Amino acid sequence: MSLPVLLALAAGSTPSPSPATSTGPVTPTLQDAQESATHAASWVEENWSTWLAIGLRVLLILVVAAVLRVFVRRAITKLIDRMTRTVQAVDGTALGGLLVNVERRRQRSQAIGSVLRSVASFLIMGTAALMILGTFEINLAPLLASAGVAGVAIGFGARNLVTDFLSGVFMILEDQYGVGDVIDAGVASGEVIEVGLRVTKLRGDNGEIWYVRNGEVKRIGNLSQGWATAGVDVTVRASEDLDHVRAVIDEVAETLSKEEPWNERLWGPIEILGLDSVLLDSMVVRVSAKTMPGKARSVERELRWRVKRAFDAADIRIVGGPTVPPEEEPLDPTSAVAAPSALGNPASPQSEATAPIPAPASAPSGAPK
């Protein structure tokens, strides 16, 4: 047997150390590092085209989303600017009075524009994110299915909440009312102190705070937009001279419209509309005026005050009911006298018939009983 064969047999018969008897970690050799680098280089060489295509697709999605977002935001901004210019054009006209004031409309338009821009950005970027996940071959079906089921469950379980939210969104977008307005919401009325997407907070006339759900509001009466009407009914005697009454009221109206602060609160002349009703003993004169929103009650109180003083000075009597009190019927002098009766005469047969029966006389002693 040759020497090389003997060396090979000797090497094969030498027992190799077991892993349990190793005393330390195995140090990677240079050959192992070279093999790892070779495998990595071959993997990159095989997949670089796929990764390049994915990267270009992601970059294209981001660029398109960014360009679309900028375009939509600019379109919304131009729309809001056009709305603002339209409000400025009608300022000072009758339509401008219905639109309240330019500053409030401008602030409302800016708020609506901000909401629309935020919603547009969320939709565009959210869609782009889903497309990017799809580019990485991530299965979106479970995610979308879970979102759909959750949406249905929320829709059935929170119907009132969704109704309140949608109603609040439309109330804000349509500018039905704002903070500081006095409104009548049907279920409650008062001054608006906070407007939310779900609840509107009102302060009542007595200081109480009402929390009104937007979904429960069926109609809204805004007393702070446009203009208000102050109406006063003056009831006088039917015998008064109508021309004299008209002259006195006209003098009061002219004086009130020239004094501050009533000249600012009155947006039109005080008009005598005529007789509202005519009765046998009274008649009602209707007085009306167009006022600043929310100032109708104060104008009515001041107008009543001045009309009463002017009527007192002009000797015109204001009545609120029958002018002539009902006459009392004279007392009958014989009402206190009793009707004649046969029992009043003790000698009459009626009186004798009603007299008590006398007791029988006692019998003498010794008489038989």
The Cα-based distances of 265 to 24, 124, 167, 250 in angstroms read 97, 49, 33, 18
Task: Tell me how crowded residue 214 is: count the other CB atoms within 10 A of its CB.
Answer: 22
Q: How confident is the model at residue 261 (pLDDT cuts 50, 70, 90)?
A: confident
Tokens linked to 89:
């054009």
Whole-angstrom distance, CA of residue 292 vs CA of residue 304: 18
**Could you tell me the pTM of the whole model?**
0.49
- Residue 323's pLDDT is 43
Q: What is the pLDDT of residue 108?
A: 66
Binning the chain into helix, strand and coil, the percentages to the nearest 5 are 55, 15, 35
Integer Cα distance of 198 and 212 in angstroms: 9
Q: Identify any residues that bridge with 188 across adjacent strands, giving them in sequence order.
A: none
pLDDT in tens, 333-343: 555 555 566 56
Taking a C-beta distance cutoff of 8 angstroms, is the pair 187, 219 a contact? no
Residue 6 confidence (pLDDT) above 50? no
- The pLDDT of residue 46 is above 90: no
Q: How many CA atoms lie within 13 A of 292 on its CB side?
A: 11
Task: State residue 307 phi and psi, 5-degree precision.
Answer: -65, -40
Which pLDDT value is given to residue 89?
A: 56
Q: What pLDDT does residue 194 have?
A: 83
Retrieve residue 79's tokens: 């729309």
pLDDT tens for 206-236 read: 889 999 998 888 888 888 877 888 889 989 9
Neighbouring-strand partners of residue 323: none
Strand order of the β-sheet with 199-203 is 209-213, 199-203, 189-195, 182-184, 221-222
Q: For residue 203, what pLDDT band results from cuts at 50, 70 and 90?
A: very high
Question: What mean pLDDT do residues 81-88 have?
Answer: 67
pLDDT in the model for residue 62: 92
Report the pLDDT averaged over residues 247-259. Answer: 89
Query: Do residues 312 and 248 touch, judged by C-beta distance below 8 A?
Result: no
Q: How far apart (Å, rounded) are the C-alpha atoms in residues 96 and 89? A: 8
Q: How confident is residue 41, by pLDDT bands cut at 50, 70 and 90?
A: low
| 279-297 per-position pLDDT tens digit | 888 899 999 988 888 788 8
Instruction: Tally the C-alpha atoms within 13 A of residue 111's C-alpha that lie toward its C-beta.
Output: 13
> What's the CA dihedral at 283, 288, 293, 296 to 10 degrees?
-40
Are 117 and 76 in contact, with CB atoms under 8 Å apart? Answer: yes
pLDDT digits (tens, 9 = 90+) for 312-368: 888 888 886 544 455 555 555 555 555 566 566 667 676 666 666 666 665 555 555
Share of the chain above pLDDT 70, in %: 67
Average per-residue pLDDT for the chain: 76
Structure tokens that stand for 307 in this block: 């009309």
Tokens, residue 345: 């005469």
The whole-angstrom separation of Cα 261 and Cα 263 is 6
